[in-house]
């Protein structure tokens, strides 16, 4: 996943374009698309390294472009807003819930598939669940949740997740209402996990509470959305 426990690198965009692309479970990309994705990652890495060192508001776009060895106009072609340089790490999760629903086993309900997927993420201590105490991940999340403009931009990403999930559920008004509730529950669960760890507890210490909270959240969704959802 993009938001990993690895320390953000200091590669330039040019370096990344020459690197070998990682394996992907999706359809193979063209060489041009692979280079484009690697450039996205390299520029984001350079920006986040600066943000973690000095703070989001104290780093200019010009400094980021220089660190990534690209021009400002080129940077803005990849990232329309400064906040997107950070939120890029969530880009591969925007349609994650929709993909889980679309790829669920025959006979498995969408809610059961999402519950299974989230509990699996907790077991793996996936950073997107908030249950991760890797120092670099904690630093990234403190940057994210401690910067109002980043939190606001995160809501836009979550709105896209909601829209994708609603489409996977069927696209009706009822499906959109269900998607809104599901994405809200996932957001709150993950934020609660991060807040507990940020308060000084380890991921292993929080795990039991995180599973219990997730079960409660999905139980509330089930009772509120009905058996057919």
| pLDDT computed for residue 227 by the predictor | 52
For residue 40, give every residue at least 6 positions away whose Cβ sits within 8 Å of its Cβ, in sequence order, or none: 78, 79, 88, 91
| pLDDT computed for residue 207 by the predictor | 97
DSSP string, the chain: --S-SSPP----HHHHHHSPPPP-SSSPPPHHHHHHHHHHHHHHHHHHHHHHHH-GGGS-HHHHHHHHTS-HHHHHHH-SSTTHHHHGGGGGGTTHHHHHHHTPPTT--HHHHHHHHHHHHHHHT-GGGT----HHHHHHHHHHHT-HHHHHHHHHHHHHHHHHHHHHHTSSHHHHHHHHHHHHHHHHHHHHHHHHHHTT--HHHHHHHHHHHHHHHHHHHHHHH-TT-
| pLDDT computed for residue 226 by the predictor | 54
Query: What span, in angstroms and rounded, lies between the C-alpha atoms of 129 and 61?
Result: 30
Residue ranges in the chain whose pLDDT is less than 50:
1-2, 4-25
Q: Is this model's pTM higher than 0.85 or not? A: no
Q: Taking the CB of residue 197, how many other CB atoms lie within 10 A of it?
A: 21
| pLDDT computed for residue 229 by the predictor | 53
| pLDDT computed for residue 38 by the predictor | 85
Query: What span, in angstroms and rounded, lies between the C-alpha atoms of 167 and 164?
Result: 5
Within its chain, how far is the Cα of 217 from the centroid?
A: 20
Query: What span, in angstroms and rounded, lies between the C-alpha atoms of 98 and 151?
Result: 22
| pLDDT computed for residue 210 by the predictor | 98
């Amino acid at each position: 996943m993009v938001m990993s426990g690895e320390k953000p690198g200091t590669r330039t965009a040019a370096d990344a374009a020459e690197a070998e692309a990682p394996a992907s479970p999706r359809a193979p990309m063209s060489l041009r698309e692979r280079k484009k994705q690697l450039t996205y990652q390299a520029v984001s890495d350079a920006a986040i390294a600066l943000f973690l060192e000095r703070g989001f508001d104290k780093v200019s776009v010009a400094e980021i472009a220089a660190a990534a060895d690209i021009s400002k106009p080129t940077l803005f072609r990849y990232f329309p807003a400064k906040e997107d340089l950070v939120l890029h790490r969530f880009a591969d999760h925007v349609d994650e819930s929709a993909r889980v629903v679309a790829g669920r086993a025959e006979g498995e309900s969408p809610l059961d598939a999402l519950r299974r997927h989230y509990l699996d993420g907790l077991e793996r201590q996936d950073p997107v669940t908030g249950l991760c105490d890797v120092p670099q991940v904690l630093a990234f999340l403190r940057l994210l949740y401690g910067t109002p403009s980043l939190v606001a931009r995160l809501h836009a990403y979550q709105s896209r997740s909601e829209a994708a999930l609603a489409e996977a559920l069927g696209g009706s008004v009822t499906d959109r209402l269900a998607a809104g509730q599901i994405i809200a529950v996932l957001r709150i669960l993950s934020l609660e996990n991060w807040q507990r760890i940020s308060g000084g507890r380890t991921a292993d210490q929080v795990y039991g509470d995180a599973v219990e909270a997730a079960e409660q959240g999905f139980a509330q969704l089930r009772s509120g959305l009905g058996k057919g959802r």
